Structure 1
Amino acid sequence: MSLPQPVPPSWKDLGKSANDLLGKDYPFHGATLEVKTQTPSNVAFKVTGNRDSKTDAISGDIEAKWVDRKHGLTFTEAWTTSNVLRTTVEVENQIAKGVKLDLNTTLAPEKGTKTALFNAVFKQSGLHTRAALDVFRGPTFTADAVVGRDGFLFGAEAAYNVTEGNITRYATAVGYNAPEYAVTLQALNNLNTYTASYYHRVSRDTEAGAKALYDTKATHGGVVLEVGTKTYLDDSAFVKAKINNSGVLALGYSQQLRAGVRASFGLALDTQKLNDASPHGPAHKVGVNFVFDS
C-alpha cells in the first residue's frame, strides 16, 4: 500500500526554494524599515517605509490584519502613501477541507481606478489547484494546477479572456522535489520563455542554487544565468552571495540584533565597471533593511 502523497506546492511556488535563495535578502535598492506589532485581539499591524537609492523617492504603507482562526477568516486592510487602498478577505476550510476563497481589491480614489481579483484554491493529497477571476480586466479567468507523485511535479496554467473568448496565456512545468534538493523546468509566456532552476541544501548551514532563463523573443539572445549560495554563520546570522553572467555580483548579510530585531545589508557590484568613481553610480548599489517584530 502506497503512502499518502503530500500536498504539492502551488503553481506560483514552483521553484520557490531557488527563487528565494537568489531573490531574497539582497536589500541593495535603497533603505527599508519594517515594523510589526501584534495585539491580544489577533490584530497585526505592519508599517513599511522605503527610500529608493536611485530616485530618492520615499514610499510606504500601513497594514492591519485581523485573524479569526476559529472560523478560518482573515481580513487585511492596507493604505499606501500613493493613496491606494488594498483590501483582502480570506476564508479557509469552511466550505470544505482544503478549500480557500479570497477576494483582493484595490482602490485609487484620486485616479478613479479599481481592481478586484477573486481567487479559489483547492488542495489535497497529490493535488494543488487554483482559479482566479479578474473582474475589471477582461474579465480574465485564470486556472492552474500542480499534481505530485513521489516527488515528481507536473503543472500547467492558462488564462482565458471572457469577453474575447480566447486563451491569452498558457504555460507548463515539470519538477522534482526531494528533502535536500529541488529541480524545476518551466515553459512560460505561451511557451516563449524557458526557465530552469536548481536548489540544493548542501549541509545544515549551507545552501546553493542556480537559475537559467532563455527568452526566444529576446533581442540580445543567449541564456541569462545566475548562481548563488547562502551560509549560516550561527543561529542569528547568515551571508548570501550571487553572480550572473553579466558580471553583477551581489552580497547580502543578515543579523538578528536581538529578539524581534533584524538588520540586513546588501551590496551589488558590476565587476565589469569596478573602476567607476562613485560607489552609488549606475554600476554599484548599496542598501539596508531593518525589521522590528514585536
Structure 2
Amino acid sequence: MSSPFSSDIPKPVQVNLAPAFPVPAFGDLGKAANDLINKDFYHTSQATLDVKLKAPNGTAVTVKGKQGFDGVTTGSIEGKHTLKPQGTKKSRSSSPKAQNGFIKLLSFMTPLPAPQRTSLYLYIMGFPNGTDLQEKVGLTLRHAGVTITQAWTTASLLDTKVELNDVLAPGAKIDLHNLWNPSKASSAAQKINFAFKNPNVHSRAFVNYAQSSGNIDAIVDVVAGNEGFLVGGEAAYDVSKAAITRYGIGLGYVAPTYSASITSAQNLNIIAATFYQKVNSAVEVGAKAGYDVQAQKASGLELASKYKLDPLSFAKAKINDRGIAALAYSTKLNAGTTLGLGLSLDTQKLNEAGHKIGTSLTFEG
C-alpha cells in the first residue's frame, strides 16, 4: 500500500553525466580546424572523379579516379559491406552421438558481455578414426558488427580490412588490415588496430608488421576528457630496436561553437596549435600555426574560412604564411551529383606560371 504522503516525496532527478561531445582520438585533436583547412579544396589535382554506389544488400562501392598535374592518372575501387547482426542461440549440450560420419561431443552458444548481438560459439567435435576418436576444438565469433572492406588501386595494391565493432564490450573495436602487392611476393604488410572508447576516454593501439623487413612496431595513444577539456599522449615502439622511437602530448578544449588544441609531436620537437569557430550558421573560420623547437622558428601558419551560400552550395578560402592562397566552390547539381571547383594562387608571383586549377565531380546513387 502506498503512503498517503507519497505525493509529497520529490522524485529523484536524473542527471546526464555523458559529455556534450565525444572524446576524440589523439590524431583528431584539432580535427575541426584541420578539416576546414585541408578538406574540400580541389586544386590538388587537375581532375577528380568519385562514384559512390550502394547495392540493395547494403554493400557500398566507391570508384575513384584522379589525374595529377604531372599527367599521371591513378584510381581505385573499394567495396565495403557491414554484416547484419545475428541473434544468439540458447546454450545446449548433448551426449555424444553420430552425426553425418562424426561424433559431436559438445556445442553451445554463449553471449559475451554486452552488447547482446555479440556471441561466441565454442564447439568440440570427435571424428571416428578407426578405434580412436580424433577431437577438434573450434572457436567462432558470430558476429559483432563486422565490416569488410576490399580495395584495389591502379598501383596493384590489394587493401583488405575487417572491422569488428563492440567485440568484448561496448566501445571496443578491432581492425585487421592487410596490404599486399601481388606482383611483389614480400610486399605484404599487416596491421592490427585496437580501440576502446567511452564517454570520457578514447584509447587506441596499432601493431604493424612489414613482411619485407620483418620489423614490428606499435603505436599507442590515449585521450581523456571531462567537460570539454581534453588531454592525451602517444608513443611509438620499435620491437627490433627495443626502443621508443617517438612520443607526443596534446591538450584541447571543445565547446558548442568553437574548439582549440595544442599538440607537441616528434619527441616534443614540433608544436602545432589550432583554433576553430563556427561564427554563425553560415560562417566558419579556422587557423593553424606550427613551431619547430630544434630550429627555433615558426614552421607554418594557415588561415581558412567557409561560407555557406545556400543549402546546396558553399565557398572556401585559405592562405598560408608563404603567400599561397586557395579558393574552392562546391555545389550540388542534383540529388546525386556534386561539382567542385578549385584554384590555387601564389600571391607573391601573380605574373608567373605555377597557379593551379582543379575540378571534382562526385556521383552518388
TM-score (norm 2): 0.76
Give, in angstroms, the shift of residue 168 of structure 1: 0.5
Separation of aligned partners in 1, 2:167 and 2:193:
15
Query: Aligned residue for 1:35?
Result: 51
Query: Aligned residue for 2:94?
Result: none
Decide which of 50, 54, 57 is 2:66's aligned counterpart.
50
The aligned runs of 1:251-270 (5 Å cut-off) are 251-270=327-346
Give, in angstroms, the shift of residue 2 of structure 1: 7.5
Query: Aligned residue for 2:205?
Result: 131
Which amino acid in 1 is paired with 2:358?
Answer: G
Give, in angstroms, the shift of residue 3 of structure 1: 2.5
Query: Aligned residue for 1:141?
Result: 218
Query: Aligned residue for 1:82?
Result: 155
Separation of aligned partners in 2, 1:199 and 1:7:
17
Which amino acid in 2 is paired with 1:227?
Answer: L
Decide which of 180, 185, 199 is 2:257's aligned counterpart.
180
Separation of aligned partners in 2, 1:131 and 1:81:
30
Q: Secondary structure at the match of 2:348?
A: helix
Decide which of 9, 18, 32 is 1:4's aligned counterpart.
18
Which amino acid in 2 is paired with 1:92?
Answer: N
Specify every segment of 5 or more residues in structure 1 that has no aligned partner in the other structure, as ranges. none
Separation of aligned partners in 1, 2:73 and 2:145:
36
Separation of aligned partners in 1, 2:323 and 2:62:
36
Query: Aligned residue for 2:195?
Result: 121
Separation of aligned partners in 1, 2:224 and 2:315:
34
Query: Aligned residue for 1:288?
Result: 359
Separation of aligned partners in 2, 1:61 and 1:223:
34
Separation of aligned partners in 2, 1:135 and 1:57:
30
TM-score (norm 1): 0.94
Q: Secondary structure at the match of 1:139?
A: strand
Deviations 1:43-80 (CA, angstroms, capped at 9, x unpaired): 11110000002x11000001111111424010000110
Kept in 1, the 8 Å contact 2:30–2:261? The answer is yes
Give, in angstroms, the shift of residue 138 of structure 1: 2.9
Which amino acid in 2 is paired with 1:47?
Answer: V
Kept in 1, the 8 Å contact 2:291–2:298? The answer is yes
Kept in 1, the 8 Å contact 2:151–2:159? The answer is yes
Q: Secondary structure at the match of 2:245?
A: strand
Separation of aligned partners in 1, 2:224 and 2:191:
24
Which amino acid in 2 is paired with 1:118?
Answer: I
Separation of aligned partners in 1, 2:259 and 2:82:
33
Separation of aligned partners in 2, 1:181 and 1:69:
37
Q: Secondary structure at the match of 1:274?
A: coil
Specify every segment of 5 or more residues in structure 2 that has no aligned partner in the other structure, as ranges. 1-14, 86-143
Deviations 1:4-34 (CA, angstroms, capped at 9, x unpaired): 3353011111111000000011110221000
Decide which of 222, 226, 236 is 2:298's aligned counterpart.
222
Q: 1:291 to 1:2 in 2, by over 3 A?
A: closer
Separation of aligned partners in 2, 1:131 and 1:69:
26
Query: Aligned residue for 1:22?
Result: 37
Give, in angstroms, the shift of residue 222 of structure 1: 2.8
Kept in 1, the 8 Å contact 2:167–2:174? The answer is no
Which amino acid in 1 is paired with 2:51?
Answer: V
Give, in angstroms, the shift of residue 215 of structure 1: 1.8
**Sequence identity (%):** 40
Q: Secondary structure at the match of 1:140?
A: strand
Q: Secondary structure at the match of 2:298?
A: coil
Give, in angstroms, the shift of residue 110 of structure 1: 1.9
Query: Aligned residue for 1:204?
Result: 281
Separation of aligned partners in 2, 1:16 and 1:152:
15
Please say which structure displays the higher CA radius of gyration: 2
Query: Aligned residue for 1:169?
Result: 246
Query: Aligned residue for 1:94?
Result: 167
